[in-house]
Amino acid sequence: MIISKKSLPRRTLLRGLGAGLALPLLDAMVPAMTALAATPASPVRRLGFVYIPMGATISQWTPPELGRMTRLSPTLQSLIPYLDQLTVISNLELKNAYSPGNHATANAAFLSAAKAKLTEGTDYELGTTVDQIAARHIGKDSPLPSMELAMDLLTTIGNCDNGYACVYQNNLSWSSPTTPLPAEAHPRLVFERLFGEGGSAAERRAELRKNASILDWVSSDIARLQGQLGAGDRTKVGEYLEAVREVERRIQKAEKQTDGSALPDVDRPVGVPASYGDHAKLMFDLQVLAMQADITRVISFQLAREASTRVYPEAGVTDPHHPLTHHSGDPEKMARVAKINAYHMSLFSYFLGKLKSTREGNGTLLDNSLLLCGSGMGNPDVHDHVNLPIVVAGGAAGKVKGGHHLRYKQPTPLANLHLTLLDKVGVHLDTFADSEGKISELLQPASLG
């Protein structure tokens, strides 16, 4: 490409009526002096959290090897392509989820490691979650400091679980001990939040439906930009725009499927794909777009709600999830729970694949991200919060090495991992919640004592 004295701003937007489309990192955004040395822009580190409800059949989750992994367990088998960027950590616990331990406290403590106030009213209290601490630091330079996403759109209020307000089960992220952040489950609304601007939400939605594609609005800017870019950047922009277009197509298809339909399923908002798996993949694709365009650097995503009675025919399980987890040691029921666990992890694997296939600088989005996937419950049959199913993926721009299974001999606070993840993305704290220290083995993996 031709190097000029000016570089393309990282915050360049393609603008049209009611819309703004951010761009991925391009070579043209690298300052001219560094471009002479073919040095990519400093990588942006991103932090993501994916929640799976009701623990796991831990015998099927735990890798067979301690230390360096060459194999994975049946539940984690779909993650094999990303083995070198994967760390499994066993015997982490959430002490503050016991009061007594239940579904509400599992969800509430997962990102806060804090004790939820026992109340059915609006005087709820928890703690600021790890994602929101990150958002205040690495998220302050992006248009959206953080995104909170979910798969279930429920408006339940009052008591949801043994005297705990529903707010604890509905929300993963809290920006303060008394401020839960609602999650969005509708793909169209997520898309509008990422790319729509100007006018009311209803006006933007009407325009999006009428004009079919946000890309139509910014076509003039696209043509002008492509004329200023080198061949590599033109290809990168073209691939990114096609990804945006594909997400739009799937949203529009889902909307057509629900147009004129009767009342929706109670756990599924109107306008989402009929299949749970298609819905989850679409939500993951939106997260990839948000990261690729640097619209946000911090995301939390609840793959399903605690105590969910969702069934998973895609995984060959037609039993409702929650009742099935109270298996009383029945091997057949535990095997079906393991199938659900494996299905959830296959969706996480899909997400990792999208991140790995998206180039950024000298690496990929997966190289520059750090992702925690797991649950706030261990054995769902007894509602405990020890030996949690936990997986960490990504490289955090060279700060984390994968390919290992770490196991503590004694239960160790999950807050240690949260403190470590913050450190690896550039947020340096001495403590977080009930943490006792950082997990240095994420850099130099070894068997833990």
Beta partners for residue 159, in sequence order: 165
In a domain, 255, yes or no: yes
In a domain, 200, yes or no: yes
User: Residue 265: its pLDDT value, please?
Assistant: 40
Closest CA to 363 of 393, 394, 391, 392: 394
In a domain, 289, yes or no: no
In a domain, 278, yes or no: no
Q: Rounded to two decimals, what is the model's pTM?
A: 0.82
Do 195 and 162 lie in one domain? The reply is no
Do 307 and 371 lie in one domain? The reply is yes
**Residue that terminates a domain, selected from 227, 254, 271:** 271
User: Residue 154: its pLDDT value, please?
Assistant: 63
Count of domains observed in the chain:
2
User: Residue 428: its pLDDT value, please?
Assistant: 95
Long-range contacts from 98-101, C-beta under 8 angstroms, 24+ separation: 98/385, 100/162, 100/383, 101/377, 101/383, 101/384, 101/385
Do 16 and 110 lie in one domain? The reply is no
What are 9-33's pLDDT values in tens digits? Answer: 655 555 544 455 666 666 666 554 3
Q: Cα–Cα distances in Å, from 320 out to 54, 251, 308?
A: 12, 27, 8
Do 104 and 22 lie in one domain? The reply is no
User: Residue 273: its pLDDT value, please?
Assistant: 87
Do 395 and 437 lie in one domain? The reply is yes
Closest CA to 57 of 345, 403, 348, 393: 345
- In the structure encoding, which two tokens stand for residue 133, read together? 């601490």
In a domain, 286, yes or no: no
Q: Is 38 exposed, middle or buried (0-12, 13-18, 19+ CB in 10 A)?
A: exposed
User: Residue 225: its pLDDT value, please?
Assistant: 75
Do 223 and 257 lie in one domain? The reply is yes
DSSP 117: P
Neighbours of 441 (CB within 10 A): 18
Pure H helices in 113-230 = 130-137, 167-170, 187-195, 201-211, 214-217, 219-226
Do 427 and 333 lie in one domain? The reply is yes
Positions in the chain short of pLDDT 50: 1-6, 16-18, 32-39, 198-199, 208, 211, 261-270, 445-449
**Residue that terminates a domain, selected from 236, 253, 271:** 271
Contact of 53 with 303, CB cutoff 8 Å: yes
Do 410 and 361 lie in one domain? The reply is yes
The CATH number covering residue 89 comes to 3.40.720
In a domain, 261, yes or no: yes
In a domain, 292, yes or no: no
User: Residue 200: its pLDDT value, please?
Assistant: 53
In a domain, 65, yes or no: yes
Do 316 and 305 lie in one domain? The reply is yes
**Residue that terminates a domain, selected from 256, 271, 286:** 271
User: Residue 35: its pLDDT value, please?
Assistant: 38
Do 178 and 302 lie in one domain? The reply is yes
Do 249 and 388 lie in one domain? The reply is no
Domain coverage including residue 176? 43-185+298-442
Do 1 and 105 lie in one domain? The reply is no
What are 48-62's pLDDT values in tens digits? Answer: 999 999 999 999 999
User: Residue 401: its pLDDT value, please?
Assistant: 85
User: Residue 4: its pLDDT value, please?
Assistant: 39
